[in-house]
Structure 1
Amino acid sequence: MNDLMVKSPQEKFCSECGAVINAKAEICPKCGVRQAAAPSQINLGTVAANGKSRIAAALFAFFLGGIGIHKFYLGQVGLGIVYLLFCWTFIPYIISFIEFILFLTMSDETFNNKYGQA
């Protein structure tokens, strides 16, 4: 009976070793493996290490993408200037709409890997 693991509502099982850990734990103290967020725990407002938000970037791309504001926000100043220079052609508007869709469909982890470096 001692081998039977019981958890409280504030606990969860480690995805790697199965140990009972705190529900808010990001890393298992037993095996050291990072825990994936449960679908109900995913926050739309998560922020990368440098303070950039995927949702904010998507909104900038949708509303102000034709003049490259989302590129400036993400620290890509050179591309932002290119968008400004060619905004009269409406090509940046089309590209930014595609980027808007990409930001919305991109996972937080992918966004953080691509744009989250501090």
Structure 2
Amino acid sequence: MNDAVAQRFKNENEKFCSECGDNINAKAEICPKCGVRQIPVSYGRVSAPNGKNKVTAALLAFFLGGFGAHKFYLGKVGMGILYLIFFWTFIPAIIAFIEFIILLVMSDDEFNRKYGMA
């Protein structure tokens, strides 16, 4: 079997290098053939270093934003309490809907920079 055909198949404990496409160990951090560091695949579940997730924050803002649930989740307790005090005016609900949209269009890097270290 030649190299081109051999590279199309991988065992269950192997993966393809993200740069050169060579078969490497599934746990390898660096490809032994080309030396490129492998990026871990997260399948869309991108979380900040502190474990906060952008989609979770957006859903909290949409469904419970009038009560400030997304603010408590993101570590902004003071703002969460302010939302709780004024929830009866529906102003926090309107602001939370706007924040819901902002969270959805915000890039993962920006979310991690803003909320990832708290």
**TM-score over 0.5 for the pair:** yes
Q: Find the counterpart in structure 1 of residue 67 from structure 2.
A: 67
CA contact (8 A) 1:62 1:96 kept: yes
Count, aligned residues:
101
1:43 positional shift: 3.6
**Which residue does the alignment assign to 1:111?**
111
Corresponding residue number in structure 2 for 1:5? none
Query: Relative to 1, partners in 2 of residues 1:44 and 1:102: Cα closer, same or farther, differing over 3 Å?
Result: farther
State whether structure 2 residue 59 is matched by structure 1 residue 53: no
Matched, 1:12 2:24: no
Q: CA deviation at 1:75?
A: 0.3
Within 1, Cα distance between the matches of 2:54 and 2:100? 10
Bigger Cα Rg? 2
Check conservation: 1:44, 1:55, Cα contact below 8 A: no
CA distance in 1, matches of 2:28, 2:57: 28
Q: Any idea what SS the aligned residue of 2:18 has? A: strand
Amino acid at match of 1:112: N
Q: How far does residue 30 in structure 1 lie from its aligned partner after superposition?
A: 5.2
Provide the rounded CA distance (Å) in 1 between the counterparts of 2:74 and 2:90: 21
TM-score under structure 2 normalisation? Answer: 0.69
Shift of the 74–25 alpha-carbon distance from structure 1 to 2, 3 Å rule, reads farther
Q: Distance in 2 between matches of 1:63 and 1:26?
A: 40
* Normalised TM-score (structure 1): 0.69
Aligned partners of 2:85, 2:67: CA distance in 1, in Å?
Answer: 8
Match for 1:56: what amino acid?
T
Q: Secondary structure at the match of 1:47?
A: coil
**Residues 91/27 of structure 1: CA separation in 2 closer, same or farther (3 Å cut):** farther
Q: Taking every aligned residue pair, what percent have the same amino acid on both sides?
A: 55
